[in-house]
Amino acid sequence: MSNDQFHGFEDSGDTVFRDVILLALAGFVAIVLLLLPHVNPPGQTLVTADEPPGNVIVELFWDEDRDVDVDLWVKAPDDVPVGYSNRGGLFFNLLRDDLGKYKDPTPINYEVAFSRGIASGEHVVNTHLYRMDGASHGPFAAKVVVTTVDPSSKVRNQILETELELAVEGEEVTVFHFGLSKTGALIAGSVNNIPQKLRSEVHK
């Protein structure tokens, strides 16, 4: 066999080898593309992931630097108060009871309650300073936000927000009385903070 014939045979072998490798790679890519939809199939959870978990959402935030325990209490019309010691009623559920820094790996101080559906009528939102972080520490700020979600359109609408100062251990403060329509609209002239104890209704 001459050198030219040998090199021609070698080039042919290289070409066949490259073709086999490319075909194998193309087959692998095709298999991966076919399997991708089955690795994470689109389901109902993906479609509804952004849907609000409730129709009335009450959130309480407070200073992340303070190791204090603040409790959120809420009450829907014709229902029992809902808070840390009674975490569910006919409408509201308390989903997060934050104890401050105790057994909490996150720096966020936050409690939240959600309702199932919307009860038309007067709602009440209170805070209760369950535990202060020592006599040397002064007052601290807290914020309460109320959001409603229209049952048919699923549109969120923040209807109330306020900041308050908490300082006295054991004190319960009425943040809001407010009225809602069946669609979650705030009833004009219904907002006030006339004191009403919610925790004591449970702890009699």
The pLDDT > 90 percentage for the chain reads 49
The predicted structure's pLDDT at residue 57: 96
* pLDDT tier for residue 32 given thresholds of 50, 70 and 90: low
Q: Does residue 8 carry a pLDDT above 90?
A: no
The overall average pLDDT reported for the chain is 81
Beta strands in the chain (DSSP E): 56-62, 69-75, 92-96, 109-115, 121-131, 140-149, 156-166, 172-180
Q: Does residue 7 carry a pLDDT above 70?
A: no
- Between 197 and 37, where is the model more confident? 197
Q: Does residue 47 carry a pLDDT above 60?
A: no
- Between 183 and 2, where is the model more confident? 183
Provide the CA 45 distance to its chain's centre, in angstroms.
15
- Kindly report, residue by residue over 77-136, the tens digit of the pLDDT: 999 999 998 988 999 999 877 776 666 666 688 999 999 999 999 999 999 999 988 766
The predicted structure's pLDDT at residue 75: 97
- Between 175 and 33, where is the model more confident? 175
Distance CA 63, CA 81 (A): 25
Range 56-70 average pLDDT? 90
- Kindly report, residue by residue over 147-159, the tens digit of the pLDDT: 999 888 888 999 9
- Which residues are registered as beta bridge partners of 172? 128
